[in-house]
Amino acid sequence: MSDDLKPANLPTTGAFVRDTTYINDRVVSSLEPGSAPQGDVIGEMTWPVEAGRYRLAAARACPWAHRSVITRRLLGLEDSISLALAGPTHDKNSWTFDLDPGGVDPVLGIERLQQAYFNRIPDYPRGITVPALVDVATTSVVTNGFSKMNTDFVKEWTKLHRPGAPDLLPDEHADEIAEIDARVYPKLNNGVYRTGFAADQGPHEEAFDDVFATLDWLEERLSTRRYLVGDHITAADIRTFTTLVRFDAVYHGHFKANRNKISEMPALWGYLRDLFQTPGFGDTTDFTQIKQHYYIVHHEINPRGVIPKGPDLSGLLTPHGREELGGTPFGDGTAPGPVPTGEEVPREHSAEVGLPAR
């Protein structure tokens, strides 16, 4: 899943329907490191968990990739899975490594993520999406199925988790997390896209109502509890955060999801500030790249490519008071360490934009 939406993917009439067909290979702990992938059918093969074997191709702009970046950081997998960051804009051939010297990823040695897809499936016919896990030795995509990929990071990569890594998918809350995702994914995560890419008034209004009914439900739920499930951060919070943090900056204006902003909903605004100030969340959020992507790439919506100067996002750094609701971010675990060198979000791309210089 990504924002890699070519013009041909967008409807000329009716509702926006996302292509959800992925390369759903799995990376599992039951295979010995160094072993070859098991299976013959792409999308059903299994690969071994192995430090250094894979590179996570992501983009700061994309909410789906942002989930994987947060999960990797919270679990302390930075030393085991390296990170390739594509730039925020792309052409019809999709994501490029134009942030790197010479426009080439220094580990994979490619200019376009498309090359890694073609190495796996020649003339791959679908969107070249992020996140994608790439086998470094063959420079070929293992999987771009973001949901299974993140679940495997949590459940299959446990031997390589950092000490104190939180349990993002606790067994006792598995059903509740799945129920929340079944509502939040179609009506909010993808709902903002259905709102913004609808080609007719009726589908736009239907999606609009879905988005704000879900936000109202979350507002009520979070008025009495610090996190969506249990007493610490879980995958449910990560999945919700990446949409909420983009809402006021992009979705409210660009996607016409404008009944109100998140900053105008007390519980959600406090919840968003709480998560944003938690290591792994705000320190992986790049507002400059987010705005560049949506306002430049989606030229069907914003044909002149003008990026709005606002809004002021420094409110994300203000006190939230959510500690009074109980719970702690990492439960019995601990916070991740500093952001690895080379993966830092520049201050001028963060919520500190507009604050006095330090």
pLDDT in tens, 255-271: 999 999 999 999 999 99
Q: What is the pLDDT of residues 76-100, one digit of tens each?
A: 999 999 999 999 998 888 899 999 9
Catalytic residues: 62, 193
Q: What is the CA radius of gyration of the chain?
A: 20
Integer angstrom CA distances of residue 2 from 6, 36, 94, 164: 11, 28, 11, 30
CATH topology of domain 171-349: Glutathione S-transferase Yfyf (Class Pi); Chain A, domain 2 (1.20.1050)
- According to the model, what pLDDT value does residue 12 have? 67
- According to the model, what pLDDT value does residue 4 have? 52
pLDDT exceeds cutoff 90 at 194: yes
- According to the model, what pLDDT value does residue 3 have? 55
Q: Domain spans of the chain?
A: 7-160, 171-349
Provide the 10 A C-beta neighbour count for residue 137: 8
Task: Pick the range with the lowest mean pLDDT from 79-93, 152-166, 209-223.
Answer: 79-93
Helix axis angle, 63-75 to 235-246, nearest 10°: 140
Structure tokens at 147: 């949901």
Top CATH class, 7-160:
alpha beta
Give yes or no for a cis peptide into 311 (omega within 30° of 0).
yes
Type of residue numbered 199: A
User: Can you tell me which residue has the tokens 């470094």?
Assistant: 136
- According to the model, what pLDDT value does residue 55 have? 98
What's the predicted TM-score (pTM) here? 0.95
**Angstrom distance (rounded) from CA 150 to CA 155:** 9
Express as a percent the part of the chain with pLDDT over 90: 89
Q: Which residue(s) pair with 246 in the sheet?
A: none
Instruction: For residue 239, report the phi and psi dihedrals to the nearest 5 degrees.
Output: -65, -35
Q: Which residue(s) pair with 140 in the sheet?
A: 135
- Domains 7-160 and 171-349 agree in fold: no
The closest of 293, 297, 295, 292 to 91, measured between CA atoms, is 297
Non-local CB neighbours of 202 within 8 Å, separated by 6+ positions: none
